[in-house]
Structure 1
């Protein structure tokens, strides 16, 4: 399922395998192997693809057909609680959305920094 989803997402952005590889700092062969199903991505690679295509990892893996299923659940009322210093705090929907966006940005930057170090 991952292989098909990756190819569909890449094609929906009108990118060649070479262009996607260049943007994500992979080789074209890696992208080809992922799309052919001859290579499986590790966790970090799944996150890179999910962030780039703005979809959930569950969508990439075929666990759901909803592109944002897992990410949307992060801001549902039932999950808008955080713990600071051992104290539970209820978040407003704006606060939860802000934290979700901040976390996504941090993860993208962390991925970029990691790739620059290697």
Structure 2
């Protein structure tokens, strides 16, 4: 693989927080944003506003919750985390169209983009997808 092929593949498989925010405002029905982070709920108490929370380890049992007619955007913790890549692989193997949000929730928060509080005990599960 040469450099051009690498960067084309990278751009095809990822979307930046700024590009996602802009594109989802222009076409909100196009995307299904998923927080796939694993770990205790207390460390996952913030999520990107509008994201559904489906931890990567639950993904094989929750495929019916994920629409096939939308582009799935997955994210995890940060650039060092590969949980979103693992989730993307599972979804791609099942025929979904998937991209990874670069930088995870850390990049999103660094840019002061909207987040929401989300706990597994929320009574309004539709608000955050817990």
Greater CA radius of gyration, 1 or 2?
A: 1
Give the strand-richer structure, 1 or 2.
2
TM, length-normalised to structure 1:
0.26
TM-score by length of 2: 0.24
Structure ranking higher in helix proportion: 1
